[in-house]
Structure 1
Amino acid sequence: MIERKTAKLIRKIKKGNQQAFKQLYDLYADYSLRTAYAITNNTSDAADIVQETFIKVYRNIDSYDIEKPFKPWFYRILVNESNRFLKKKSKEAISIESEQLLDFLNQQVEEPIDNRDVTSALKQLDEKHRTALILKYLNGFTEKEIAEIFELNVNTVKSRLYQGRQRLKRMLGGVKDE
């Protein structure tokens, strides 16, 4: 299990083991790069965000509670760093590759939609709805995990996901009559 392996690595990192940090990086780099890219739509920016995220993880690893899951803690740092980066750059861009979200939206709208339409619509969503949708549909996080990342109530996350999906459906051609 990845959490067990992660916990072992973190114990080693806390003792100063540099190789363990490299292994932790190897475990999470691809997923974090995809998430940062989905938020920024820029490979170079995503790489910078991931690098800053891992620097913050390294600097703050001693404050991490080994009894709690690592993934939500890590993604909270990643999302915060992404948001900080976007605010610094003062632009919003996004790309999504999630077939699950496309499938859901295609079932709900009159006309078939494609990835470019979803990307354009996501750009128009506010940050809280867009990020929740990315974490759910691109990264496969549960509502509970997203709530932990944002330090929110699960019902708040469910509401953001619902509202985000509804806004996307309206932007992408309306809802089918049922």
Structure 2
Amino acid sequence: MRTAMLVTKNGEWAKDAVQETFLRVYRNCWQYDASKPFKPWFYCILLRECYRVMEREKKVVPFGEQLERIAVEPDLPDDRVDVYEAMQSLNDIYRIPLLLKYVHDYSEKEIADMLELNVNTLKSRLFKAREKMRDRLGGEPHGSEA
């Protein structure tokens, strides 16, 4: 659910995507290759469902609503909201690989396969995503002197 929320930026869309993902996994479990890890196969289906739901809805949820919901949760540290805001402000081509790499701990090869990208393209997007995150969070460029 967390991944669907981060991808779709909308709670109802995320619920739809997750529900449809579980239905598709159940209906198509015969297509799963048991010699490969289950999670990448599952997340590939989830991402496609998120894209399908977003395409169907064709609207954008105001980002401020998302932040307000998170900001009122007392158990979240203040810096986590900043990271969430920075991540949500990225374009999908940067946000989704970053999410899969650092939240779900997939290898670059697994992510490239899920997103149907060349590994070098993925590495480039991850590099740019990290740069954009650093800029949004006010970090220093790598290798800079204080």
Q: Provide the TM-score with structure 1 as the length reference.
A: 0.62
For the pair 1:144 / 2:112, whether they are aligned, the reply is: no
Identity %: 46
Q: Provide the TM-score with structure 2 as the length reference.
A: 0.74
Note the C-alpha offset of 1:146.
0.8
| Residue 52 of structure 1: aligned partner | 20
Measured against aligned partners, the alpha-carbon deviations of 1:90-144 in whole angstroms (never above 9, x if no partner) come to 226678x9xxxxxxxxxxxxxxx82222222223311111001111111121212
How far apart, in 1, do the equivalents of 2:111 and 2:121 lie? Answer: 10
How far apart, in 2, do the equivalents of 1:161 and 1:138 lie? Answer: 13
Picking from 34, 39, 43, the partner of 1:66 is 34
* DSSP-derived class of the 2:101 partner: helix
| Residue 125 of structure 2: aligned partner | 160
How far apart, in 2, do the equivalents of 1:167 and 1:87 lie? Answer: 25
How far apart, in 1, do the equivalents of 2:88 and 2:3 lie? Answer: 15
Contact 2:95–2:129 (Cα < 8 Å) also in 1:
yes
How far apart, in 2, do the equivalents of 1:66 and 1:174 lie? Answer: 43
The CA RMSD over aligned residues, in Å, is 2.5
CA radius of gyration, larger in: 1
How far apart, in 2, do the equivalents of 1:39 and 1:150 lie? Answer: 13
| Residue 95 of structure 2: aligned partner | 130
Contact 2:4–2:18 (Cα < 8 Å) also in 1:
yes
Note the C-alpha offset of 1:80.
0.9
Say how many residue pairs are matched. Answer: 130
- Unaligned 5+ segments in structure 2 are 71-77
